[in-house]
Amino acid sequence: MFRNYLKIAFRTLWKNRTHFLINIVGLSVAFGTCVLLFLTATFELSYDKFHTDADRIFRLNFLSSNRDGTPDKSGTMPFPISPALKAEFPELEGVSRYFSRGSSVRRNNQIYGKDVRMVDPDFLHMFTFPLRKGNPRSAMNNLSDIVISEKMASDIFGKEDPMGKPLQLRMNDTWQAFTVSGVISNAPANSTFDFDALIRSENAVEYQTSKNRWDFGNHDVYVKLKPGTDPQALQRRMQPFMEKYFAQEIKDHRGLGYPNNNLGFQKSLLLAPMREVHFDTETMHGEAISRTYIYTLMLIGLFILAIACINFINLTIAQSLSRAREVGVRKSLGAQRVQLFGQIWGETLLLCLGALLVGLGLAYWVLPTFNRLFRSHLIVDDFLKPGVLLVTGLGFLLITLIAGGYPSWFVTRFNAVEVLKGNVKMSRPGLLRNSLIVTQFAIACLLIVCTLIVRQQITYLQQKPMGLDKEQVISIPVGTALKGDVALKAMRDRLANQPNIAAISGSGVNIGAGLDNSSSRMMFGFLYGKRDITCDWLRVDTDYLKTMGIRLLQGRDFSADFGTDSSTNILITQSMAKKLGEANPVGKFIKPDDKQFQIVGVVSDFNLYSLHQEAQPIALQMQSNFPISYVLIRVNPQNLTGAMEMIKAAWKSIAPKQEFIGSFLDENTERWYRKEQRLSTIFSSAAAVAIMLSCMGLFSIALISIQQRTKEIGVRKVLGASIPSIVAMLSKDFLKLVLVAILIASPIAWWAMDKWLADFAYKIDIEWWVFALAGMLAIIIALATVSFQSIRAALMNPVKSLRSE
């Protein structure tokens, strides 16, 4: 019997091969897309779950309030908080600082650029990064100990045993000796921590001057609780600790009228679970990802799968008349309804199985392109994990049950006697079919609107004036092999009198995301009279304004002719002057960091960081104790390629062992919005797939519908109906459904995009024409799809039409 069912199934599929092809293509594309999107989302959700005691590890955050009552959350901690917490809270099993920094490593006169992180000894037993060599309890006992990753051990030592071997790190502009005391396993791709080597946090250049300062923070702190400790109870018990060590700051803020935070205090310490750190976009300095983005991936995958299933259900129901006679004959010969259901559902199972295998093949084929476009880290092994296979199998069975179950039940319910008498006719389109068509086009319209708005926002961010001229400026990361001011002077000497070079300067902060993948920020808070001031503290050099195209509004620029410019003079931005409440602040003094500075000039506001956040007031200074990290060179626009090659050659002459990774600032600023670009790519790709699948389904439904009305079309032509009137008659019902879909999708899209845009300090207004354009696109696509069959039917010879039934 099974063999007979299988033979009938193949015959049926071959007989309806056009619809079979549409179904197999739609389902396979949907399966492949869904698998890739769900695997990507699963990977993001798996961050930091590999740590054995992840549920007992927390990252510290400060919570206070801004003057307007909005929450102010920060993960930047002062040096003394770690030892104080460890001494006063026995519930803590471990405490570790974490500095995300890079360094140059030297061995046998060979220099390597590596990600060297600074941590405390507890780090090795708090987190699940097994040591391949060395003892986790003693590997970081000395300040000169260095624990290197397996990859770094291979890169530097090859097959040689690295234990006990010397290495040199560029620290504080000098080469400092370290000894390899351990080899640690490489951090997995789904780890918040990414490192090549670990050294003690006391090696930080600012440690000695800041180890007792509670008003200066520059690193993260992680704590591990002892088993059985209630994190909420511990967090409440930490409030007296905050009142004790931050008493002056709390007193100052209370005196200035700052409201309490939502916990009822001026400043609180929060325990953020380790498994939530990857999603903390507020305090992770651009290294986190929003859960909304991950759930959007999963939702888009479900949308595409839903459209493919809708197509399948609609096509199967639309073809039910052709199966009705078969069902009637089988019932008259004694077939039970459950047998007929099993046969027809078995055909669905066979088709879906083929689609799943093709879909998995497609996913494997496009995997490299998918990883590149969406910056994912998927590998073939991810497809073969038991959990993935189980979910895929259960999902497959659920889809076949939903997509094939209802059509099978619908077909098998026909009355055998009525069918054999020829009294069963397909009714005009019912509520279910119309609802399914509306649903799939609503999804397509939703994705079109989201694509248009996301692209608009990205274009707006890229084109919005930043208060500086980012065109034709090359940024060169200095790295740690050279001292910043030495590198800047050498580049000025090499490029002096070159006609292609317009200006050269240096800065402690890059504009945009450079090729070194590094970012930094220094901020100071201080009182000016009774005004509470917070500003970015930016290290620059002479000619910075000229190089960056920033306007000087009052006073003068920095100059080598004034010795105090490199010690006690500063420039400030317009917004800083406004915060100070000074119409003419030139000559006035401010006192951040317990040192007095005189304002010698005011410049126009400019954006130092991405437009996700509002531009903060900026103080520009030239103190030599703050390093130059980037050499900035403005070139003339006539020969950009030649200028870049000349600059590269000059860099190689002064730093032959330092990799040149210079980049144009306009490219850097575009990389600020990689997450939005990726979201735009996802939406546009999903919209294209959704439209394609919707059109395939609409094409098939139109074909079947027109076939069922062939005799009606012939009669209308005989009675004098014109071809345009017939085309309009056949198309209008479908266009009505598309219009309903647009009306449903538009408010949903507006709500979703309004929520998304709320994350930006600078954003577009959602315009009505976006919805009109999306609607027009949907109507044109649907009309083109239906009209092809409608025109073909209208042109048919009426004699053949009347003979067709």
Tens digits of residue pLDDT in 184-226: 999 998 899 989 999 999 988 888 888 888 877 788 999 999 9
Contact 196, 152 (CB under 8 A): yes
Residues 420 and 528 in one domain: no
Burial of 33 (0-12, 13-18, 19+ CB in 10 A): buried
Residues 634 and 686 in one domain: no
How confident is the model over 123-162, as pLDDT tens digits?
999 999 999 998 888 899 999 999 999 999 998 988 899 9
State phi, psi for 26 to the nearest 5 degrees: -60, -50
Place of tokens 């060395």: 134
DSSP string for residues in 407-424: HHHHHHTS-HHHHHHT--
**Of residues 170 and 344, more confidently modeled:** 170
**What is the strand order of the sheet 501-507 is part of?**
501-507, 630-635, 473-477, 663-664
Number of domains in the chain: 3
Q: Of 671, 704, 734, which residue constitutes the final position of a domain?
A: 671
Place of tokens 């068509």: 437
Say if residue 578's pLDDT is above 70.
yes
In a domain, 709, yes or no: yes
In a domain, 760, yes or no: yes
Element (H, E) at 531: strand 531-539
Residues 203 and 118 in one domain: yes
Residues facing 98 on adjacent strands? 119, 220
Out of 105-109, 274-278, 372-376, 764-768, pick the least confident: 372-376
d(CA 405, CA 409): 6
- 798, amino acid identity: P
Residues 455 and 524 in one domain: no
Task: Spell out the residues 6+ positions from residue 533 whose beta carbon is closer than 8 angstroms to its own.
Answer: 525, 526, 527, 576, 579, 580, 590, 592, 617
Q: Using alpha carbons, select from 252, 314, 298 the residue that is nearest to residue 531.
A: 252
In a domain, 12, yes or no: yes
Residues 657 and 525 in one domain: yes
d(CA 380, CA 369): 13
Task: Spell out the residues 6+ positions from residue 477 whose beta carbon is closer than 8 angstroms to its own.
Answer: 510, 514, 515, 516, 518, 629, 630, 661, 662
Give pLDDT, residue 670. 81
pLDDT band of residue 19 (cuts 50, 70, 90) is: low
Give pLDDT, residue 179. 93
Token pair in block for residue 435: 């609802």
Element (H, E) at 121: none
Residues 373 and 490 in one domain: no
Residues 735 and 723 in one domain: yes
> Which segments of 506-606 does DSSP mark as H helices, in order?
544-548, 574-580
> Mean per-residue pLDDT for 399-407?
70
In a domain, 247, yes or no: no
Token pair in block for residue 207: 């440690």
Give pLDDT, residue 428. 46
In a domain, 283, yes or no: no
Token pair in block for residue 64: 């206070």
How confident is the model over 715-761, as pLDDT tens digits?
776 777 776 777 777 777 778 888 888 899 899 989 988 888 877 77
In a domain, 781, yes or no: yes
Contact 532, 524 (CB under 8 A): no
pLDDT band of residue 413 (cuts 50, 70, 90) is: low
Say if residue 321's pLDDT is above 80.
no
How confident is the model over 456-499, as pLDDT tens digits?
888 888 787 788 888 888 888 887 667 888 888 888 988 888 88
Contact 650, 487 (CB under 8 A): no
Domain that holds residue 20: 2-43+290-460+674-803
Most confident of 39-48, 512-521, 549-558: 549-558
- How many other β-carbons are positioned within 10 Å of the β-carbon of residue 546? 15
Give pLDDT, residue 707. 64
Q: Of 633, 650, 671, which residue constitutes the final position of a domain?
A: 671
Residues 336 and 439 in one domain: yes
Q: Taking the alpha carbons of 621, 626, 630, 631 in that order, is the dihedral positive or negative?
A: positive
Q: Of 626, 653, 671, which residue constitutes the final position of a domain?
A: 671
Token pair in block for residue 641: 């390629």
How confident is the model over 422-461, as pLDDT tens digits?
555 544 446 667 777 788 788 888 888 888 888 888 888 8
Give pLDDT, residue 797. 62
Q: Using alpha carbons, select from 204, 274, 270, 263 the residue that is nearest to residue 234.
A: 270
In a domain, 235, yes or no: no
Parallel, antiparallel, or unpaired for β 174-184 and 145-149?
Answer: parallel
How confident is the model over 626-672, as pLDDT tens digits?
888 889 999 888 878 888 888 888 888 888 777 788 888 888 888 77
d(CA 312, CA 329): 25
Say if residue 111's pLDDT is above 50.
yes
Residues 533 and 618 in one domain: yes
d(CA 283, CA 297): 23
Q: ∠ CA 482-671-644 to the nearest 5 degrees? A: 50
Residues 440 and 539 in one domain: no
Contact 727, 787 (CB under 8 A): yes
Residues 429 and 499 in one domain: no
| Number of alpha helices (DSSP H) and beta strands (DSSP E) in the chain | 26, 25
> Mean per-residue pLDDT for 5-20?
59
pLDDT band of residue 273 (cuts 50, 70, 90) is: very high
In a domain, 84, yes or no: no
Residues 620 and 709 in one domain: no
